[in-house]
Amino acid sequence: MSHDHDHAQPHRHPPQPDEEDTTPPEYRRLETAVRELLLEKGLFTADEMRQVLERFDSQTPAIGARVVARAWVDPAYRTRLLADGSAAVAELGIDMEEVKLLVVENTPQVHNLIVCTLCSCYPRPVLGLPPDWYKSRAYRSRAVREPRSLLREFGTVIPDGVAVRVHDSSADMRYLVLPMRPTGTEEMGEAELAELVTRDSMIGVSLPRRLQTAKG
Amino acid sequence: MNPPFFAGDRVTVRRASPPGHVRTPFYVRGQTGVVERVLDAFANPEELAYGRSGLPRVRLYRVRFRQLDLWPDYQGQPGDTVDVEIFQHWLEPAREEVK
C-alpha cells in the first residue's frame, strides 16, 4: 500500500480504540464484579492478586525446555522424571502447586499428544498459559477423534509403525511430553539443547527443532 | 463400595449421565479399557464444584482405551490409544460381551 507521509504537515490517523471503548463481554463484567467484592470483603488484597498474575506471566515454555534438556543429558534424572514428574521438577526449583505432573516419553514406537477435552487443563508451571488453539473445541475434539490428521495439520506426520498415544487431562494430573533428543546433538550442552525444545514439542503437536533450523 | 483396581485390570466406565460437574468425558462412558496405572486419591470434583469439601478423597485411575474401540471408523493405526483419568466410582469390573 502506498502511503506518502509528509511529516512536515501533521495529519490525524483514525484513533485505535482503547479497551474501554468496546463493551466488555458478560464474563469480563462478572469477573470484575466478583473480584471487587472479594477485595472489599478482604479475602485477599490487590497486591496478592497482582502477585498471582505476575507469577502466571513469568511462567514460560523455557521452564519446560530446561526440564527436557536435563532429562536428555542425565539418564538418572530422566528416570526420576518419568517416575514422579512433580518431585523431579521440584529438584530444578519448579513448584507444580496443587496439581501433579506426569511426564510421558516419546520413543521410536510411541508418539504422545496432550489434550484436555473437558476444558483447558495445561501444565502451567512448566509451559505457562496455553495457546488459544489448545482451548478450541476443534483441537479438544479432534485430538481424541482423529489425532493423526490433526497432527498432519500441525506439520507432524506420524509414521504408521508408530502408535499415537493421546492423554486426556480429565482430572488432577497435568502432562508434559518428553520428546526424543534430535540426532546429531551428541556434542551439545544442556543450555544449547534447551533451545531446541519448543512449546509445541512438549504438547506433542510437533517435534523439537532440528539442527539446521537451530541457533548457532 | 467398588473394589479397588490395579494396573492391567480391564474396567468398564459406567454409562450414566448425572447432572452437575462431572469429569468423566462422555466419549468413554460405557467403554471398556485397561488400567494403565493407579494414581493418588483426590478430592471429588463432583462435590468440590458445589463448595463442599470433596472428602473423603476418591481414588483416581488412568484408563487406556483403544481408539478402534471408541470410534469404529477410526482412521489410524490399531495400536493408537487414549488415556483418560477416571475416578473409582465411575469404574466397574469389565463386563465382557458374550456373543
Domains of chain A: 28-57 (no CATH), 61-213 (3.90.330.10)
Beta strands in B1-99 (DSSP E): 10-13, 32-42, 58-66, 81-87, 91-93
Q: Measured between CA atoms, how close is A164 to chain B, in angstroms? A: 5
What is the enclosing helix (H) or strand (E) of A166? strand A163-168
Which residues of A belong to the active site? Answer: 116, 119-121
Cell of A153: 495439520
| Residue of A165, A169, A175, A177 to mutate when probing chain B, most B C-beta within 10 A | A165
Amino acid of residue A174:
R
**A/B interface, count of CB pairs below 8 Å:** 71
Res B24 pLDDT > 80:
yes
Per-residue pLDDT tens digits for A48-83: 999 999 999 999 999 999 999 999 999 999 999 999
The pLDDT value recorded for residue B55 is 95
Tell me the shortest Cα–Cα distance from A148 to chain B, in angstroms: 7
The reported pLDDT for the residue numbered A20 is: 78
- Lookup: cell for B7: 494396573
Model pTM?
0.88
- Check residue B97 and give its pLDDT: 58
> Residue A14 — very low, low, confident or very high, per pLDDT cuts 50/70/90?
confident
d(CA A121, CA A113): 14
Residue A1 has pLDDT above 60, yes or no: no
Paired with A176 in beta bridges are: A103
SS3 B38: strand
Collapsing DSSP to helix, strand or coil, A142 comes out as helix
Q: Is the pLDDT of residue A213 over 70?
A: no
Chain A neighbours among B 61-90 (CB < 8 Å)? 62, 67, 70-71, 74-77, 79-87
* Angle at which helices A75-83 and A61-73 cross, to 10°: 120
| Averaged pLDDT, A182-201 | 96
Residue A4: its pLDDT value, please? 55
* pLDDT of B99 higher than 60: no
* Per-residue pLDDT reduced to its tens digit, B64-86: 999 999 999 999 999 999 999 99
Delineate the domains of chain B, giving CATH numbers in brackets: 10-93 (2.30.30.50)
> Dihedrals φ, ψ of B18, to 5°?
-70, 150
Please report the pLDDT score of residue A216 as a whole number. 43
Confidence of residue A7 (pLDDT cuts 50, 70, 90): low
Write down the mean pLDDT value for chain A: 92
Phi-psi region of B45 (alpha: psi -120 to 50; beta: other; left: phi over 0): alpha
Query: Residue A110: CA atoms inside 13 Å, Cβ hemisphere, count?
Result: 14
Residue-level pLDDT at A214: 46
3-state DSSP helix/strand/coil % of chain B, to nearest 5 = 15, 35, 50
CA torsion, points A177, A181, A183, A188, in degrees to nearest 10?
140
Share of chain A above pLDDT 90, in %: 83
B26-79, pLDDT tens digit by residue?
A: 999 999 999 999 999 999 999 999 999 999 999 999 999 999 999 999 999 999
Cβ–Cβ contact B57 with A under 8 A: no
Take residue A145 and report the three cell numbers written for it: 477423534
